[in-house]
Homo-oligomer: A and B are copies of this chain.
Amino acid sequence: MTMSRARKSSPSGPEADAALKTDATTSIVGYRLRRAQLSVFQKFIAVFEELKLRPADYSVLVLIDDNPGRKQTEIAEVLGIKRANFVTLVHGLEQRGLVERIPSLEDKRANALHLTTAGQNFLRLAKSRHRALEDEIVTQLGGTEARALLLALLDRLI
């Protein structure tokens, strides 16, 4: 008891309620990137929970919509998603009737990806929710210039 008290009052001893020294940890670029990414993804997941849409699903839908008829392998490569994971992801979107795989006219072994009409309508709804989320991020960052600056800095790391 006495020892415990002595330690508590000692400036060099551990103080259960004192703030931790975190400078060295939080100044690791990778660490801070990961925390920021998780924080943004958590917001995304909360906003899109009702639509059962995860961040990767959304980026795939946007990319297919902008590039209808492109091969699965091309879409996966641009997004940096591993082939096996991408096949599972696309299968999920197909089951929900949002995406169709159509054998490519140029390469019979390849599948070309398209959004269905339901997929296009769904994406329109998702995009409007996403715009609200990006607006919130702009507010957090302190304006559209700060957002553009962040995107440019991140681009240098990719």
- Across-interface contacts of A150 in B (CB, < 8 A): 29, 150, 153-154
Interface size for A (C-beta < 8 A) is 67
What per-residue 1/0 map shows which CB atoms of A32-73 lie under 8 Å from chain B? 111111111100100000000001001100110011111100
Verify A66–B24 contact, CB threshold 8 A: yes
The CA of A122 and the CA of B79, in the complex, are separated in Å by 36
Chain B residues with CB under 8 A of A70: 14, 20
Please give the count of copies of this chain that the complex contains: 2
Cα distance A28–B59 when bound, in Å? 8
Instruction: Assess the A30–B40 pair: CB atoms within 8 A.
Output: yes
Can you spell out 25 A-B residue pairs with CB atoms less than 8 angstroms apart? A3-B105, A8-B106, A14-B104, A20-B63, A20-B66, A20-B75, A21-B66, A21-B67, A22-B66, A22-B78, A23-B66, A24-B62, A24-B63, A24-B66, A28-B130, A29-B134, A29-B147, A29-B150, A30-B37, A32-B155, A34-B37, A34-B41, A35-B158, A146-B153, A149-B149
